Amino acid sequence: MTDMSLALDRLGELAIEVPSWAYGNSGTRFKVFSTPGTPRTVQEKIADAAKVHELTGLAPAVALHIPWDRVENYAELKAYAADLGVGLGTINSNTFQDDVYKFGSLTSSDPAVRQKAIDHHFECLDVMDQTGSRDLKIWLADGTNYPGQGDMRSRQDWLAESLQSIYARLGEDQRLVLEYKFFEPAFYHTDVPDWGTSFAHTLALGEKAFVCLDTGHHAPGTNIEFIVAQLLRLGKLGSFDFNSRFYADDDLIVGAADPYQLFRIMYEVIRGGGFGKDSGVALMLDQCHNLEEKIPGQIRSVLNVQEMTARALLVDREALGEAQRAGDVLAANGIFSDAFYTDVRPVLAQWRESRGLPADPMAAYAASGYQKKINEDRVGGTQAGWGA
């Protein structure tokens, strides 16, 4: 196995972007439960995210969602976040909660609706100019429910045109990442259902357009790490939305449902040059905490990514390559699994302490009194949520 200290050296490069919406209330179409202490404003969401970073050292940026996080002055918001020790990250657009988008947004057959959706992305780019964010993330709810309902082919052409208008407005250092999802809310066809469709569009757009891979957006049994390897090979993997799924787009805590899958994904990220500050791959969470407490839910999430990254860094790639070339199936699989089965938790606790962080961030949060304080302070107003 790779020497533990070498693996830990690289672990310092791990940075995970947390989503502002993880701190608000969320739920299913059956019920959204509210919880005490839930933020009422984007500032309170950022304060909670900053707590996660303070205790883990892993989450230096917060992704925002427009219009959920709309404010008058984004430069001020950036300064507020900086004071708390975090930056503002990816800007997520939203063309799925307006009546006008009922039959599509960037893919609508109505040019006026397409233009409205394009204009919304221009607003997001204006926000990015002020926050200094690099990435504009586009996820579309567009699709149809019945065969014959829409002209799938024309919708692809309209999508390409709409994306082109948005892409043309990107600043020098800005990027567009296009997320795919195989179903929901549309059930018959989705306009960006898979990595291939996202790849085709981002390839046509140019070198500032990339694919966003949400780990929850695949059919059961999909080999996600293969997609990671392929997109890195093609230079088109821009970002991850990490979460876990059992059935659909469950948005559960990353690494909770299948830690081995997260390990395999992180292995391919490292193997393919997608790990580290300058890799161009943003590691984001896209999660909702419907039942559990949100801040510890986020702490657990970033720790899960850290743990599986540490294990993936332990894979002895040289020995693995030799076994692969020798056709030694069991040896190769053994080398791979040895790293996965290594319990890195005690070493990570020491590693955190050596960097002035709490050995056990979950326990440190529980002991911090922060939850009690926000439960008491955040009374009145309207709790944030995405309003399912």
Q: Are 299 and 361 in contact (CB under 8 A)?
A: yes
Q: Which of 142, 191, 214, 307 binds ligand PSV (CB under 6 A)?
A: 214
240 binds ligand PSV (CB under 6 A): no
Q: How far apart are CA 55 and CA 364, in angstroms?
A: 7
Q: How far is the CB of 39 from ligand PSV (least distance, A)?
A: 17
Contact partner at residue 249 from ligand PSV, Mn ion, none, CB < 5 to 8 Å by partner kind = ligand PSV
SS3 for 320-375, per residue? HHHHHHCCCHHHHHHHHHHHHCCCCHHHHHHHHHHCCCCCCHHHHHHHHCHHHHHH
**Residues contacting 337, CB < 8 A, separation 6+:** none
92 binds ligand PSV (CB under 6 A): yes
Q: How far is the CB of 83 from ligand PSV (least distance, A)?
A: 26
DSSP labels, 207-243: TTEEEEEETTSS-TT--HHHHHHHHHHTT-EEEEEE-
> Smaller CB distance to ligand PSV: residue 47 or 212?
212
44 binds Mn ion (CB under 5 A): no
Q: How far is the CB of 43 from ligand PSV (least distance, A)?
A: 20
142 binds ligand PSV (CB under 6 A): no
Q: Which of residues 280-309 bind Mn ion (CB under 5 A)?
A: 286
Q: How far is the CB of 258 from ligand PSV (least distance, A)?
A: 18
135 binds Mn ion (CB under 5 A): no
Note the helical H segments in the chain.
4-11, 42-56, 74-83, 111-131, 152-168, 195-205, 224-233, 259-271, 294-313, 317-325, 329-340, 345-354, 361-368, 370-377
Q: Which of residues 121-140 bind ligand PSV (CB under 6 A)?
A: 139
For residues 237 to 256, the per-residue mask of contacts with Mn ion, x marking binding by CB under 5 A and - elsewhere, is ----x---------------
Q: Among residues 169, 181, 160, which one has the least CA distance to residue 208?
A: 169
214 binds Mn ion (CB under 5 A): yes
307 binds ligand PSV (CB under 6 A): no
Which residues in this chain contact Mn ion in the complex, by CB under 5 A? 214, 241, 286
Footprint on this chain of ligand PSV (rule: CB under 6 A): 92, 139, 179, 181, 214, 241, 249, 286
